[in-house]
Structure 1
Amino acid sequence: MADAQTLTDPAPYDALLLLSFGGPEGPEEVVPFLENVTRGRGIPKERLTEVGKHYFLFGGISPINEQNRELLAALREDFAGHGLDLPVYWGNRNWAPYLVDALRELAEDGHRRVAVLATSAYAGYSGCRQYRENLADALAVLAEEGRPELTVDKLRHFYDHPGFVRPMIDATLAALAELPAELRDRAELAFTTHSIPTSMAEASGAPDDPARGTPGGAYVAQHLQVAGLIADAVAEATGVADRPWQLVYQSRSGAPHVPWLEPDICDHLTDRQKADAAAVVMVPIGFVSDHMEVKYDLDTEAVAKAAELGLPVTRAATVGADPRFAAAVRELVLERAAVERGEPVTRCGLGALGTTRDRCPADCCPNPRAPRPAAAGA
């Protein structure tokens, strides 16, 4: 059985698409971008302008597009360095370069079988199925235009891949080292991710997934596994075996009466200060790069709360364009290519949950509003 690290043949794939969320790159783009994100929810423009203040603090520019350009460059460099002749394209869900334009470009360039990496590591509607719905919508547009048919396969979730986990271990250790020496061994870890409605969390994953039977479904279970892997590695590296850690949430955006995953990071910091915690290291395991929800919700809002409380905090870096993550993407593409060719392959993953399947069942991570067509993939 082949190991993904030894594979070299990308067939049947002839291209990779980097699929991301997108973000504004100027003040005039902020509200139109938010209108794209919230389309169909009836949110008034005045409310979007209020939300947009987070972006205006940073000149109306989200860091996410530039970070995707860096990841794009890292992927191309890694592929070239390993003799993988596979062009890499980029498209976004909510802003330019738009997904449908990226698929048009792929079709025009003669590509027909495309592997897709979505910049979301975990199971869940927003992080997986919605991207597959976006792909189905864009493919329908191309079909209406009479363009050549594309087959797209979204790659499996990569939350447990060593190329995703190990850079975060190093980043957590680096963030601990930023604290005064007398606080490092007593500092706690707060692993952060995007809060989602509890109903959506409980429905995440397929009904027969082992993780689905745990409280919170696959979304919470996968995050807890990553947090545990990092906490164990940090304990081994620092010799502190009983360092407290917790999975917490951020970036809630729903109506107050709808239950969402808790505790919020700022509430958690308040609780830890009351419990006389020495310091807290925030580790954003739910995010691939330092985009707005990291730069504002953690670096701005949570840091301000910690300062108000007099609680020392630092924040670990996200994976970003780390060469190990770029290598992981290459391995995921080659692993999936071998699967599509019908060849046995050893999947690369850490932890007890096991790697996720390549193709989602029809009943996993359901659309909370109404069923919609979704393209194939993990």
Structure 2
Amino acid sequence: MKRGLLVMHYGTPSSIEDVLPYYTHIRRGRPPAPEQLKDLVDRYEAIGGPSPLTKISEDQAAAIGEGLKARGVDAKVYIGTKHTTPFVADAVRQMAADGVDEAVGVVLAPHFSTYSIAAYRKYAEEAKPESMKLDIVERWGTLPALIEGLAARVSEQMQGWNPEETLVIFSAHSLPEKIVANGDPYKDELLETSRLVAEKSGVPHWTFAFQSASQTGEPWLGPDILDVISENAKDYKNVIACTVGFVSDHLEVLYDLGIEARDRCNELGLNFRRAATIGADPKIMDALAAVAAEHFAGQHL
């Protein structure tokens, strides 16, 4: 049997020139209005150009692959994205062309949602041949290594500050409110991760907020992190932002947190720090490899 590891992520434009096709794909083939395109381009330029998401995701995928190899699982690594090349379907078709019989998919997003994990699973399953076994890791937001890694990053940013004067705000990408009515577990899973990280790091004051909501004309999950900062400004001197939903630096982290949230704090006289994303943290990637190895083993039960 030939095995493949399919690592999936959102994707990012490779250059400023690629922002238009990237944005158009996100909008399901509808090109953005000139002012919408300019706003997104301005944000990318504010962080110094295209985000490092692609390189970080490649490093994460390689580390998970090495973790599998260390466990005696020989699986070639394939990468597929949601909105740029190589797309998820392209990666799955390549696996099939390479003769892969058994595959496990890992999405570089820890929490299940019909808008994220379920969508990636759909893309992969629609592209695979019937003969290929494919299991998707649907969630890993309570993985002990992830909790420990995020807690350590929060504690690092707390150094030199009085915890009683500091509010830790955990965050993740907002999604349309209608998912809650449909029973989507996304919000509950995010809150569980946040609670576990807060307990592990021992912070006395924390809350959760959504960020990066899109302007689609429909209600999105809140509260927004900028509003949460404003509402709590009178009670704290310091703010630590820690995303539990994003696992690498990209536009929503570097701009929405690193610039917008920072600037809101500055306007209100608050000190601001951002906890680092997990990136290709060896312990966390190895723990993810252990989960993937369990899925490979499960294909033979």
Tell me, yes or no, whether TM beats 0.5.
yes
Shift in Å at residue 137 of structure 1? 4.2
Residues 273-305 of structure 1 deviation map (CA, whole Å, 9 limit, x = unaligned): 1x2312111110011112211011000111111
Residues 251 and 297 in structure 1, CA contact (< 8 A), matched pair in contact too: yes
Residues 26 and 59 in structure 1, CA contact (< 8 A), matched pair in contact too: no
Residues 123 and 204 in structure 1, CA contact (< 8 A), matched pair in contact too: no
What residue is the counterpart of 2:186 in the other structure?
219
Shift in Å at residue 26 of structure 1? 0.9
CA distance in 2, matches of 1:77, 1:88: 10
What residue is the counterpart of 1:34 in the other structure?
23
What residue is the counterpart of 1:213 in the other structure?
none
Residues 125 and 134 in structure 2, CA contact (< 8 A), matched pair in contact too: no
What residue is the counterpart of 2:133 in the other structure?
151
What residue is the counterpart of 1:174 in the other structure?
156
What residue is the counterpart of 1:78 in the other structure?
67
Unaligned runs of 5+ in 1: 1-11, 206-217, 343-378
Residues 148-171 of structure 1 deviation map (CA, whole Å, 9 limit, x = unaligned): 853322113111111222111111
Residues 73 and 293 in structure 2, CA contact (< 8 A), matched pair in contact too: no
Shift in Å at residue 189 of structure 1? 1.1
Residues 111-130 of structure 1 deviation map (CA, whole Å, 9 limit, x = unaligned): 12211001121121222121
Residues 103 and 133 in structure 2, CA contact (< 8 A), matched pair in contact too: yes
What residue is the counterpart of 2:221 in the other structure?
261
What residue is the counterpart of 1:7 in the other structure?
none
Bigger relative contact order, structure 1 or 2, given CA contacts below 8 A and separation 6+?
Answer: 1
Picking from 54, 68, 86, the partner of 2:57 is: 68
Give the paired residue count.
301
What residue is the counterpart of 1:313 in the other structure?
272
Q: Greater Rg, structure 1 or structure 2?
A: 1
Q: Secondary structure at the match of 1:18?
A: strand
Residues 1:281 and 2:240 are matched in the alignment = yes
Unaligned runs of 5+ in 2: none
Shift in Å at residue 193 of structure 1? 0.7
Picking from 271, 277, 282, the partner of 2:231 is: 271
What residue is the counterpart of 1:350 in the other structure?
none
Greater share of strand residues, 1 or 2? 2
* RMSD between superposed Cα atoms in Å: 2.1
Q: Secondary structure at the match of 2:86?
A: coil
CA distance in 1, matches of 2:25, 2:95: 23
Q: Secondary structure at the match of 1:226?
A: helix
**Identical pairs, percent:** 29
Residues 18 and 72 in structure 1, CA contact (< 8 A), matched pair in contact too: yes
What residue is the counterpart of 1:370 in the other structure?
none
Residues 249 and 265 in structure 1, CA contact (< 8 A), matched pair in contact too: yes
Residues 88-110 of structure 1 deviation map (CA, whole Å, 9 limit, x = unaligned): 11111111222233223212222
- In the TM superposition, 1:238-253 aligns within 5 A as 243-253=204-214
What residue is the counterpart of 1:183 in the other structure?
162
Q: 1:298 to 1:223 in 2, by over 3 A?
A: same
